A and B are shown apart, each in its own frame.
Chain A
Amino acid sequence: MKLFKTLAVSAAVAMAATSGTASAGTLEDVKARGELNCIVTTGVAGFAAPNDAGRWEGFDVDFCRATAAAVLGDADKVKFVPTTGKTRFTALNAGEGDILYRNTTITMSRDADLKLTFLGVNYYDGQGFLVPKALGVTSAKQLDGASVCIQTGTTTELNLADYFRANGMSYEPVTIETNEEGQVNYLAGRCDVYTTDASGLAATRSSFDNPNAHVILPEIISKEPLGPAVRQGDDAWADTARWVLNVLIEAEELGITAGNVKGLASNGSNNPAINRITGVEGSYGEMIGLDKDWAVRAISAVGNYGEIFERNIGVNTPLGLARGLNAQWTEGGILYAAPAR
Chain B
Amino acid sequence: MAASSATSESGRQSLWYRIFYDKETRSTAIQVLTLTLLFAFFFYIIRNAVINLEAIGKGYSFKFLWEPSNYDINQTLIEYDSRSPHWRATIVGILNTLLVAVTGIIIATVVGFIMGVLRLSHNWLINKVVYVYIEYVRNVPVLLHILMVHGVIVNTLPLPRNAISIDDTFFLTNRGFYTPKPLFEPAMWAVFIAFVVGIVFSIWFNHYAKKVQDATGKIYPVIWISLAAIILFPILVYFVVGSPMSFEMAELRGFNFKGGLVLRPEYLALTLALALYTAAFIAEIVRAGIQAISHGQTEASYALGIKPNRTMRLVIIPQALRVIIPPLSSQYLNLTKNSSLAIAIGYMDIVATIGGISLNQTGREMECMTIVLALYLSFSLMISAFMNWYNKKMKLVER
Contacts and interface: CB of A to CB of B under 8 A. Distances in A.
Contacts of B263: none
B255 interface: yes
Interface in A108-166: 109-110, 113-115, 143-147, 152-153, 157-158, 160-162, 164-165
Contacts of A162: 70, 82
B231 interface: no
Contact of B343 (A147, A177, A232): A177
A232 B56 contact: yes
Interface string B2-34: 000000000000000000000000001001100
Contacts of A6: 28, 31-32, 35
24 contacts: A6-B28, A11-B36, A14-B38, A15-B39, A18-B40, A89-B360, A90-B365, A93-B56, A144-B254, A145-B258, A146-B256, A147-B255, A152-B357, A153-B360, A158-B71, A164-B72, A165-B83, A173-B74, A177-B346, A189-B154, A190-B154, A190-B265, A233-B55, A233-B57
Given A93-B56, A109-B361, 5 more contacts: A89-B363, A145-B258, A152-B356, A153-B357, A171-B72
Interface string A177-194: 100010001001110100
A144 B363 CA distance: 31
Interface in B139-193: 154-155, 159, 174-175
Interface string B355-399: 011011111010000000000000000000000000000000000
A31 interface: no
Given A10-B32, A113-B362, A174 B256 contact: no
B174 A18 contact: no
A10 B38 contact: yes
B253 A145 contact: yes
B201 interface: no
Nearest to A11: B39
B156 to A, nearest CB: 9
A296 B36 CA distance: 55
B36 to A, nearest CB: 4
Nearest to B262: A172
B363 A20 contact: no
B241 interface: no
A181 B346 CA distance: 10
B58 A173 contact: no
Given A18-B44, A158-B70, A174-B346, A188 B155 contact: yes
Interface string B316-338: 00000000000000000000000
**How large, as a class, is the contact surface on chain B?**
35 or more
Interface in B61-118: 70-74, 81-83
Contacts of A86: 356, 359-360
Contacts of B48: 20
A14 B363 contact: no
Given A20-B51, A90-B365, A14 B39 contact: yes
A7 B55 contact: no
Given A10-B35, A147-B175, A17 B71 contact: no
A321 interface: no
A161 B56 contact: no
A162 B70 CA distance: 8
Contacts of A233: 55-57
B370 to A, nearest CB: 15
Nearest to A87: B360
Residue of B40, B72, B159, B254 with highest tally of chain A CB at under 10 A: B72
Contact of B40 (A14, A144, A161): A14
Interface in B235-293: 253-256, 258, 265
Interface in A85-110: 85-86, 89-90, 93, 109-110
Interface of A: 2, 6-7, 9-11, 13-15, 17-18, 20, 85-86, 89-90, 93, 109-110, 113-115, 143-147, 152-153, 157-158, 160-162, 164-165, 171-177, 181, 185, 188-190, 192, 231-233
A113 B73 CA distance: 24
Contact of B363 (A115, A143, A152, A190): A115
Nearest to A189: B159
Contacts of A185: 154
A67 to B, nearest CB: 21
B342 to A, nearest CB: 10
Nearest to A85: B360
B133 interface: no
Contact of A147 (B81, B155, B256, B363): B256
A10 B39 contact: yes
B28 A113 contact: no
B354 interface: no
B47 interface: yes
A172 B256 contact: yes
A130 B254 CA distance: 17
A10 B154 contact: no
A10 B253 contact: no
Contacts of A113: 362-363
B134 interface: no
> Which 10 A-B residue pairs are closest in the complex by CB-CB distance?
A14-B39, A10-B35, A114-B363, A153-B360, A14-B40, A161-B82, A10-B36, A145-B254, A146-B255, A115-B56
Nearest to A3: B31
Nearest to A137: B255
**Which of A109, A110, A160, A173 has the most chain B CB atoms closer than 10 A to its own CB?**
A173
Contact of B36 (A14, A164, A192): A14
Given A18-B44, A147-B255, A233-B56, A188 B71 contact: no
B348 interface: yes
